[in-house]
Chain A
Amino acid sequence: MIEALNIGLALLVLALGAWTVVARDTFAATAGFLAYGLLLTLVWVQLHGVDVALTEAAIGGGLTGALLIRAAAKLRKTETAARAERPGAPTRLVAALASAAVTVALALAVLALPDPAPTLAPEAMANIAATGVGNPITAVLLAYRSMDTLLEAIVLLFALIGVWSLAPDRVWGGRPGPLNRVDPNGILAYFARVLPPIGIIVGIYIFWIGADLPGGKFQGATIIAAMWLLTIMAGLTDVPPVSRTWLRVLLVLGPAVFIAVGAAGALWAGAFLGYPDGFAKPLIIVIEAALMPSLALVLALLLTGAPERAAA
């Protein structure tokens, strides 16, 4: 029974992936991509990776899909001109051959995977008591490979700086996105007043529970970012200009605290980002609490894009 479900899921995912690639209308392709991301979440649950499923649903399907739908809506006018450039049969043949070659190579690699599979689970679980968290993925993210998480937060900041630097000179440092004028008594304003309190609680819950159960700060920060974006879309708040000092301080706060804890670890525990004995859990909580607002801000601002209006 489970095999039938898995096979059905795999076929659906392949069909949606094909639709995303070959659909004529760009908007339809992006909508298909959103559904594809949500189906991938189910696939991840079947692969017993619940944390990754949460991240895929929040960031892979949700945020990326919303970003691409926004872009597709803005680029709607170029649709007819772009469609005239469709490639001829030779290009398609070469592309099909390349794609078939890549597929076959990867499939052969999958079928030739070593059995029994090598795994780091025993090592991860052997030392998990010292980290103070119960979820092994959180332990990997914030204790064993905390350097990767620090660099990931910094990469997000760099991407945001890159996006901001694409503003035209006349609106440099201004507000991203258009001014949303929405009926204050309409359904969107109502929705944006009812959902954010619930969403913020759910986001903080998912962040807090990530220490021992599937969850974590990326998933929680995405939900909080989505709530902020909802209030922006409903016109209840406006995006702040990107030159505001408090915004930039909040953005840098997370990685800065992370680096400070790492430097303190270099002094007291002998290695950058090492945790002194018994202090692992409190330090992890401090890092995560500082990273949450920064992450939520970065994810929301990456979605709103480069500044379009001059700072008032």
Chain B
Amino acid sequence: MMDSAILFGLCASALVGLGVYGLIVNPQPLRKILAFNVVGSGVFLLCGAIARRGAALGLGGDPVPQALLITGIVVAFSATALAVAVLLRLFDETGSATLTADAPEAPTSEAGAK
């Protein structure tokens, strides 16, 4: 039967594909952020499959990629938090959460001193 690392590596490839589809198709920024996170977790899973194949000396997996993946998951979360903060600010300013073709009006001093 298939080695678990190869199985989850293929699963990870499919996840990246699904995320790319969602990234292109969904018009709302929040759905794009969601799809981007699916892509990110798929990429991490792919590296995890590679780490699993590097198992040696009684360890379950190669520790170097696994440690880098921990760093990656944390940095991905911080990028998502920044993206969501930008999106919420866009919603506060323009009242809509989609990226339309018209640029919002430049904030006047009255809006800034509200």
State yes or no: do A and B touch (Cβ within 8 Å).
yes
Interface residues of A, Cβ cutoff 8 Å to B: 2-3, 6-7, 10, 13-14, 17-18, 20-22, 26, 29-30, 33, 36-37, 40, 43-44, 46-52, 55-56, 59-60, 63-64, 67-68, 71-72, 74-75, 78, 81-82, 85-87, 91-92, 94-96, 98-100, 102-104, 106-107, 109-111, 113, 117-122, 124-125, 136-137, 139-141, 144-145, 148-149, 152, 155-156, 159-160, 162-163, 166, 168-170, 216, 218, 299, 302-303, 305-306
Q: Are B84 and A71 in contact (CB under 8 A)?
A: yes
Residue of A nearest to B4 (CB): A6
A50 to B59: give the CA distance in the assembly, Å: 11
Q: Are B85 and A6 in contact (CB under 8 A)?
A: no
B residues contacting the other copy or chain, number (CB 8 A): 85
Q: Is the interface of B mostly helix, strand, loop or mixed?
A: helix
Closest 7 CB pairs of A and B: A48-B60, A119-B54, A103-B17, A21-B22, A106-B13, A159-B78, A110-B9
Interfacial chain B residues near A122, Cβ < 8 Å: 56-57
Residue of B nearest to A151 (CB): B71
A48 to B95: give the CA distance in the assembly, Å: 46
Interfacial chain A residues near B8, Cβ < 8 Å: 6, 10, 43, 46-47
Given contacts A110-B10, A169-B112, 16 further A-B contacts (CB under 8 A): A2-B4, A29-B31, A49-B60, A49-B66, A60-B73, A60-B76, A67-B81, A99-B21, A102-B17, A124-B63, A137-B70, A140-B68, A141-B71, A159-B78, A163-B81, A166-B88
Interfacial chain A residues near B57, Cβ < 8 Å: 121-122, 125
A-B contacts, 20 of them at CB < 8 A, read A3-B4, A6-B8, A29-B31, A33-B38, A46-B8, A47-B49, A52-B44, A60-B41, A75-B88, A82-B27, A103-B17, A104-B13, A110-B12, A110-B49, A119-B55, A121-B57, A141-B67, A163-B85, A305-B81, A306-B88
1/0 contact string of B1-24 vs chain A (CB within 8 Å) = 110111111111111111111101
Q: Are B34 and A140 in contact (CB under 8 A)?
A: no
Q: Are A303 and B6 in contact (CB under 8 A)?
A: no
- A163-B82 in contact given A120-B64, A170-B114, A218-B74 (Cβ < 8 Å): yes
